[in-house]
């Protein structure tokens, strides 16, 4: 079993419900167990500004799935939520699920890059991540989470307390 960290995001079709439902679906993936999930956060869109804010979270999933099987399972969940992978990059979407980390592995192939590219520059990933990891957590090839957080502090997402 490997601890895999998953980023969740939505800004269409009731984003709060989309992320909550996706967390439930992660908990039911075969050979996997949802160990923890962050609070939900609201963040400005990373792409085009003329779209709604995102709801984001990060979860840790203990899984026996291979990295590519996990990616396939996440993409299947996205599809059940109406995700279409065509159109504008970083545009609006009902659900986005990304494998951030898969244990200590580093992977780079045509389908999957781990650690997820850009995760260390995204406040909407790093702030939720810090809620569910040990204080000395490190991202392979990038250093400690605590050292990365100040770099994205200006974009700190809004933590939703009653979501």
Per-domain boundaries in the chain: 2-160
Catalytic residue, chosen from 93, 122, 156, 162, is: 93
* Strand duo 143-144 + 40-43: pairing: unpaired
- Residue 118 near residue 155 (C-beta atoms within 8 A): no
Catalytic residue, chosen from 20, 42, 96, 122, is: 96
Q: What is the mean pLDDT of residues 151-162?
A: 91
Q: Is 83 a catalytic residue?
A: yes
| Integer CA distances (angstroms), 43 to 49, 53, 122, in order | 12, 6, 10
Q: Which residues pair with residue 54 across a beta bridge?
A: 43
CA distance 87 to 104: 33
Confidence at 88, pLDDT banded by 50, 70, 90: low
Fold adopted by 2-160? Alpha-Beta Plaits (3.30.70)
Report pTM.
Answer: 0.93
**What's the confidence (pLDDT) of residue 161?**
78
Q: Is 56 helix (H, G, I), strand (E, B) or coil?
A: strand
Catalytic residue, chosen from 14, 98, 111, 162, is: 98
Q: Is 93 a catalytic residue?
A: yes
Q: Is 102 helix (H, G, I), strand (E, B) or coil?
A: strand
Percent of the chain with pLDDT over 90: 83
Q: Is pLDDT of 163 > 80?
A: no
Q: Is 96 a catalytic residue?
A: yes
Catalytic residue, chosen from 20, 42, 83, 122, is: 83
Give the tokens for residue 25: 């679906």
Higher pLDDT, 46 or 14: 14
- Residue 145 near residue 133 (C-beta atoms within 8 A): yes
Length of the chain: 163
């Amino acid at each position: 079993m490997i601890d895999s960290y998953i980023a969740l995001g939505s800004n269409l079709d009731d984003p709060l419900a989309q992320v909550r439902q996706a967390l439930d679906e992660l908990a039911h993936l075969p050979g996997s167990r949802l160990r923890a999930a962050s609070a939900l956060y609201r963040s400005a869109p990373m792409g085009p500004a003329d779209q709604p804010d995102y709801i984001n979270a990060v979860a840790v999933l203990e899984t026996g799935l291979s990295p590519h099987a996990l990616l396939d399972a996440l993409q299947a969940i996205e599809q059940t939520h109406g995700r279409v992978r065509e159109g504008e990059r970083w545009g609006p979407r009902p659900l986005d699920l990304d494998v951030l980390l898969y244990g200590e592995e580093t992977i780079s192939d045509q389908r999957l890059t781990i650690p997820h590219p850009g995760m260390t520059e995204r406040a909407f990933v790093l702030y939720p991540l810090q809620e569910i990891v040990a204080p000395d957590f490190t991202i392979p090839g990038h250093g400690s989470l605590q050292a990365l957080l100040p770099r994205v502090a200006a974009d700190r997402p809004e933590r939703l307390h009653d979501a």
